[in-house]
Structure 1
């Protein structure tokens, strides 16, 4: 006798009907997740490139706001692990493009530094994802940008501040905020504008379920963004000096750009001495007025004038011809046989060398080799750094003729504390002696010029940039460029610049605003961890990775 078995009760029938249906569903969901992950990765990399284009030499500063908004959106509602990946694929292209000028040293140095810097943005991405569900998250996200910059400006080996949001906004509506809270406040305002923009996008995604509370939130976000963006325009920038000084900046140029910019011994020194003597001839002929002081750049003397009689004689001859105190940049031997010092020396036409400033922050792997005994065996190219630069211990406040100047050398202009201590120490005009000949026409001189513009506003002082091969410039206290040179040309700039004794609020507050905002970012991470533990108890909060339309903004 045969027994009829219903199809839905037969074991084989169940397997044959269920398996073909379930498998395609799982595969479809997996493929959708992979496609979504690749899209997010591509968008994050593109946003990093947008941020790089906000910096000089492109100067498209609004892209800095859009890039911040993009990273906020891409990390919103994600897991910390996903946020870390998003931060990495955002940060690596950003630094690779921003720091492309380092390729002249070597592709390994360029890629290695970019990777190291991208790790800080990786941590930022994870922190943004962690805090993305906190109330008031635009503020915490903006604070985390400052936290990331705070860490990157100091670690490792003294830090590397390139790529701060503030340095992309040295001629934008945010710039005047530097006079209140320095570069960190500018970065915070830019980041807050971007995170508020991301918040408004999330509100727009939920417009179908929007209610009165959503409209109120949107209005508040728009008002806060408007204040962050335009508030700086209400900040007064002090520009009037207590008196003035007439300066001449000498850019003598170098034999060739690149790693071997010095050429043969004495060549760079001869270039600057010749240019100074030619200026003296024009003054004697009545073609130009006599300056009160002359400023030569970093490395304008490629030999130690204290130990080399020919270098001493050549500098002294040029300074006597112009007849006014001259700030000379020179490499000086000591304090022992293993070290040299990068100095700015006040050279008087009557008495010769006097006060000097020694660079406080030598550049790792460029001016000294960390762990020299080990790394020199592995990376033979480091042998080009024959002697480590010995760091100075004091500020660059010196009397140069009638002016009390605040001297900083080259990359030091990127470090808040060094410049601020110089101003608070009594400097009445900032001088940046620099040598960018290694990176000529690479974008690096433009990036350093932008930093100097921000420092002018931050401290309310004129900034005088003297460069061996460019860009030399005279910057007014409001950050505007009065005059500048082109790269790889011999040139001189003359100007009457104000000397100021007053200090800005940023000078008085020092690093307090940065520390405050950075700590807020860390506290937000702690609050997010505690909130996550409470949610783990079962509160019905949407899981990380849900579509934006299902997650409350």
Structure 2
């Protein structure tokens, strides 16, 4: 039974994880992910399953924990739990492949499935600090047009496996040259497919402004703070230079207090009817479709909140509304509340968010505007669905004002770049304290604000139609392929059992 890994092995595992983390925004050193994966593969070579698990877990923890350090400010236990869960998924992925050279083929598939698993479970998934985010600014990003972000995971792992194989070739193992060439072939094939894949086509354009009210980071919501945030947004909105077709406000910057039963209003509070009047007047003043983000207690269920964006036409008429569907675990809803409330006290939100059920498209005079509110942009299907429903441009109102550091904000911009490439749609992101951004259909960052500043991003964005292969196919083909790669690795490992063993078995069969 193998003993625990040596200190040197443990440090190498941690180093591999840190290299993968270095590719993730805000650092964004995308080539380091390939080196980290190659180092991890070297640690797994020829090891039994339990050793592979023990070596992969610290490597993945060293990737996840630094890249999600912002969570430490909100919930230290949640930060540790999310990191260990991430590490466990990848530890198990390392266990389900052969131990020798065919492991590389299997790891391409099993690591792809592990990424998808943590994007999906538990509690709807936590797709943060992902492998694709680390490549959003790199040359491999366009492959997501072909089969989505899962293909990008597979290609990045394949590159890492090729580097590891080249190390083995340098050490004298000529058989590994085939692995290195195969990995290069995967990258070349994916690049060719990305080059010929459909990207949609332009049908029109509109002038759009994303309004950032400004203010300090690391703040928490309060009744008086809500009035200040709204006032900042109104002030920033006056910086919009007309004419403009659409003006996008961030998520939940319209956060009214309930109307007082006594009828006595406080001057430092924002109330629903005052907000309605102000927004109607602002849409009329701008002569544009105004898309503000609301957050308040649900009128139909006093135990729940609602988070939505409305579309207000230039005449002040509210013509459509989208309620956020994918909600944030422990931020907007509390799983296992019956068990956690007595322990956590006031740390957890008092009311869960009531998720929406409608299409994520606002039908307006300016066009069909797809909406992914904040957290939803990390999930590829929350952008894919509105595009399938006819969205011509994607809007991402968000709010990262409560977060420490800029990890969430930079990773969100990276996710928006991937979503733009996957769908062939422009993405426009608006945040009250940054980052707001405009991203074109090729995933290029056209413009971005800084953190804390009051600013307006204005530009002409394309309205586009047509579907990419990734939008048509979704994740299922890549999941099937990934499972087949793991199965093929096991079949190849069994088939290529050393010849002396096969001869021995044949002789046994012949003699009875």
Could you state the TM-score of these two structures normalised by the residue count of structure 1? 0.82
Post-superposition Cα deviations, 1:443-473, rounded to whole Å, max 9, x if no partner, equal 2101110110111111111100011111101
Deviation of the 1:263 alpha carbon: 5.1
Deviation of the 1:522 alpha carbon: 4.9
Equivalence map 1:132-531=2 (5 Å): 132-133=99-100, 135=102, 137-207=103-173, 210=174, 214=175, 217=178, 220-221=181-182, 223-224=184-185, 227=188, 231=192, 234-235=195-196, 238=199, 241-254=202-215, 257-260=218-221, 264-279=225-240, 288-303=241-256, 308-334=272-298, 335-383=300-348, 385-439=349-403, 441-524=405-488, 527=491
Q: Give the Cα–Cα distance (whole angstroms) in 1 for the partners of residues 192 and 17 of structure 2.
A: 26
* Partner SS, residue 114 of structure 2: helix
Deviation of the 1:219 alpha carbon: 7.0
Q: CA RMSD in A?
A: 2.9
Q: Which one has more relative contact order, counting CA pairs under 8 Å at least 6 apart?
A: 2
Q: Is the 8 A contact 1:368 1:387 kept in 2?
A: yes
Q: Give the Cα–Cα distance (whole angstroms) in 1 for the partners of residues 77 and 117 of structure 2.
A: 23
What corresponds to 1:107 in structure 2?
76
Structure 2 residue aligned with 1:60, among 13, 24, 29?
29
What corresponds to 1:282 in structure 2?
none
Q: Is the 8 A contact 2:48 2:99 kept in 1?
A: no
Q: Is the 8 A contact 1:465 1:472 kept in 2?
A: yes
* Partner SS, residue 100 of structure 1: coil
Once the two structures are overlaid, the 10-residue window that deviates more, 91-100 or 236-245, is: 236-245
Taking a change above 3 Å as real, the CA distance of residues 196 and 323 of structure 1, as seen in their structure-2 partners, is same
Once the two structures are overlaid, the 10-residue window that deviates more, 139-148 or 258-267, is: 258-267
Q: Is the 8 A contact 2:161 2:183 kept in 1?
A: no
What corresponds to 1:89 in structure 2?
58
Which ranges in structure 1 are unaligned for 5 or more consecutive residues? 1-29, 280-287, 542-553
Could you state the TM-score of these two structures normalised by the residue count of structure 2? 0.88
Q: Give the Cα–Cα distance (whole angstroms) in 2 for the partners of residues 100 and 215 of structure 1.
A: 38
Post-superposition Cα deviations, 1:430-452, rounded to whole Å, max 9, x if no partner, equal 11110011125432101110110
Q: Give the Cα–Cα distance (whole angstroms) in 2 for the partners of residues 508 and 330 of structure 1.
A: 32
* Partner SS, residue 359 of structure 2: coil
Q: Give the Cα–Cα distance (whole angstroms) in 1 for the partners of residues 148 and 183 of structure 2.
A: 25
Once the two structures are overlaid, the 10-residue window that deviates more, 459-468 or 239-248, is: 239-248
* Partner SS, residue 432 of structure 1: strand
Once the two structures are overlaid, the 10-residue window that deviates more, 509-518 or 174-183, is: 509-518
Structure 1 residue aligned with 2:67, among 82, 86, 98?
98
Deviation of the 1:277 alpha carbon: 3.1
Which ranges in structure 2 are unaligned for 5 or more consecutive residues? 260-270, 505-512
Post-superposition Cα deviations, 1:74-111, rounded to whole Å, max 9, x if no partner, equal 11110100011111111111111010011221322222
Taking a change above 3 Å as real, the CA distance of residues 216 and 170 of structure 1, as seen in their structure-2 partners, is closer
Q: Give the Cα–Cα distance (whole angstroms) in 2 for the partners of residues 262 and 118 of structure 1.
A: 39
Q: Give the Cα–Cα distance (whole angstroms) in 2 for the partners of residues 222 and 315 of structure 1.
A: 55
* Partner SS, residue 226 of structure 2: coil
Q: Give the Cα–Cα distance (whole angstroms) in 2 for the partners of residues 252 and 529 of structure 1.
A: 59
* Partner SS, residue 345 of structure 1: strand
Once the two structures are overlaid, the 10-residue window that deviates more, 512-521 or 292-301, is: 512-521
Between the two proteins, the alignment pairs up a number of residues equal to 491
Q: Give the Cα–Cα distance (whole angstroms) in 1 for the partners of residues 406 and 372 of structure 2.
A: 22
Q: Is the 8 A contact 2:159 2:183 kept in 1?
A: no
Taking a change above 3 Å as real, the CA distance of residues 529 and 225 of structure 1, as seen in their structure-2 partners, is closer
Taking a change above 3 Å as real, the CA distance of residues 268 and 314 of structure 1, as seen in their structure-2 partners, is same
Deviation of the 1:240 alpha carbon: 5.1
Q: Is the 8 A contact 2:206 2:366 kept in 1?
A: yes
Q: Give the Cα–Cα distance (whole angstroms) in 1 for the partners of residues 225 and 309 of structure 2.
A: 22
Q: Give the Cα–Cα distance (whole angstroms) in 2 for the partners of residues 391 and 219 of structure 1.
A: 47
Once the two structures are overlaid, the 10-residue window that deviates more, 244-253 or 315-324, is: 315-324
* Partner SS, residue 472 of structure 2: helix
Q: Is the 8 A contact 2:291 2:310 kept in 1?
A: yes
